[in-house]
Amino acid sequence: MEPFGVRSRAERGQRLTELPVPALRELVRTHRLVLLRGYEVPAEAEQLAAWCRQWGEVMSWPFGDVLELREAQDPTDHIFDCSSVPFHWDGMYKPFVPEFQVFHCLRAPGPEDGGATTFCDTVRLLDEADPGLLDRWRRVTVTYRIGQVVHYGGKAVSPLLVEHPVSGAPTLRFNAPPPEEEPDFLNRPAHEFAGVGAEDVPELLAGLRAALTDPRWSLAHAWQDGDVVLADNHALLHGRERFRSRAPRHLRRVHLLGDPAHANPALG
Ligand SMILES: [Fe+2]
C-alpha cells in the first residue's frame, strides 16, 4: 500500500482464522499496517476476541474485549459521534498501552459518506523530518486532560518524542487538538505545553498538523465491508474523518498487549 502498509486479498472462502498469527505479527511490525480484504471473519464479537487471544494477551476494557464502534443515538464523547477524531494513540490514559489494534469493519460507510480511518507512520515522519523541527519537538512535553465520560479519560503526560517499546525507533506521541471548524466536538481534551514558549505554541501546532497529514507517511483508509486492519499502535497515530450522521459505519476493535505488556509511561 502507499505510502505504507501491506494488503492481502483472500482467495475465495479463505478464513481470517486460518492465517498464521506469527507471520501476521511480523508483517505488522515491519509494515506497521496490514489490510486483510475479502477474508471470512467470525460474525460474533466473542469469536473475533477468541482469535485475537492467539496473538497473546487481549487488553480488557470496562465494556469487555471488543469495542463496538458505532455512532450513538445521543453521544457524550466524540468517539461515538460522527465528528472527526484527531490523531492519537490508543491507551494513552490507561495503565498499559496496547501494541496492536485489530479492526474489523462490519458495515462500511458509503463512498460519499466519509468516515475513513486516518493513520500516520510517525517513524517515517521523524526519519525524514527537518532537523531543526526535530530539535524543537525533542524539548516538548504535553499534558493532556480529558473528562472520563465513556471508557477512557484522566490525565496523561508525554514527551512528543518517545522510543518505540519494541524496535527502539523514535516515534511521535501526540493527541492533536480537535479542529476549530468543529465547535460541537464532544469532550474536548485540554492541552498544556512544556518546553515551548506560549507564544510559540500556535507555530508548533501548525508544524505538527502539517507533518501528521503529509501524504508521504499518512493515509486515510476508506473501509469496505469485511476489511480487517492490523495496526502498530506504538509506531502509528490514528484518527477518523468526519462522516455523515446516520451513515452505516460499524467497526469492531480489539487491543492486543505486547509481551511484556507496555506499562504506560504517560501516567508517571
Ligand atoms: Fe483510537
pLDDT tens by residue, 209-256 = 999 999 999 999 999 999 999 999 999 999 999 999 999 999 999 999
CA of 213 to the centre of ligand 1 (A): 17
Percent of the chain with pLDDT over 70: 100
pLDDT for res 16: 97
Length of the chain: 268
pLDDT for res 218: 98
CA of 65 to the centre of ligand 1 (A): 15
Q: Count Cβ atoms within 10 A of the Cβ of residue 184 and give its class: 0-12 exposed, 13-18 middle, 19 or more buried.
A: exposed
CA of 239 to the centre of ligand 1 (A): 6
Q: Count Cβ atoms within 10 A of the Cβ of residue 259 and give its class: 0-12 exposed, 13-18 middle, 19 or more buried.
A: exposed
CA of 240 to the centre of ligand 1 (A): 9
**Distance, C-alpha 168 to centroid of its chain:** 19
CA of 90 to the centre of ligand 1 (A): 5
pLDDT for res 160: 98
CA of 13 to the centre of ligand 1 (A): 30
CA of 138 to the centre of ligand 1 (A): 24
Q: Which of 206, 190, 89 is nearest to 136 (CA)?
A: 206
> d(Cα 249, Cα 72) in Å, to the nearest integer?
11
CA of 74 to the centre of ligand 1 (A): 20
Percent of the chain with pLDDT over 90: 96
Mean pLDDT over all residues of the chain? 97
CA of 79 to the centre of ligand 1 (A): 8
* Beta-carbon count within 10 A of 115 CB: 22
pLDDT for res 180: 87
> d(Cα 56, Cα 228) in Å, to the nearest integer?
18
**Is residue 260 scored above 90 in pLDDT?**
yes
pLDDT for res 256: 98
**Is residue 268 scored above 80 in pLDDT?**
no
CA of 88 to the centre of ligand 1 (A): 6
> d(Cα 38, Cα 23) in Å, to the nearest integer?
18
CA of 221 to the centre of ligand 1 (A): 14
CA of 89 to the centre of ligand 1 (A): 6
CA of 237 to the centre of ligand 1 (A): 8
CA of 12 to the centre of ligand 1 (A): 31
pLDDT for res 66: 98
Look up residue 35 and give its amino acid.
Answer: L
> d(Cα 199, Cα 178) in Å, to the nearest integer?
20
Report whether the peptide linkage leading into residue 260 is cis, meaning its omega lies within 30 degrees of zero.
Answer: yes
CA of 255 to the centre of ligand 1 (A): 10
> d(Cα 233, Cα 32) in Å, to the nearest integer?
8
Query: pLDDT per residue over 96-148, tens digit each?
Result: 999 999 999 999 999 999 999 999 999 999 999 999 999 999 999 999 999 99
What b/e string do you get for 9-44 counting C-beta neighbours within 10 Å, with b at 16 or more? ebeeeeebeebeeeebbebbbebbbbbbebbebbee
CA of 187 to the centre of ligand 1 (A): 14
> d(Cα 48, Cα 104) in Å, to the nearest integer?
9
Query: pLDDT per residue over 173-191, tens digit each?
Result: 999 999 988 889 999 999 9
Domain ranges, ordered by start, for the chain: 6-262
The Cα-based distances of 104 to 50, 54, 197, 251 in angstroms read 14, 16, 42, 6
CA of 233 to the centre of ligand 1 (A): 9
pLDDT for res 87: 98
| Phi, psi dihedral angles at 17 (to 5 degrees) | -70, -5
pLDDT for res 105: 98
CA of 235 to the centre of ligand 1 (A): 13
CA of 186 to the centre of ligand 1 (A): 15
Q: Does domain 6-262 have CATH number 3.60.130.10?
A: yes
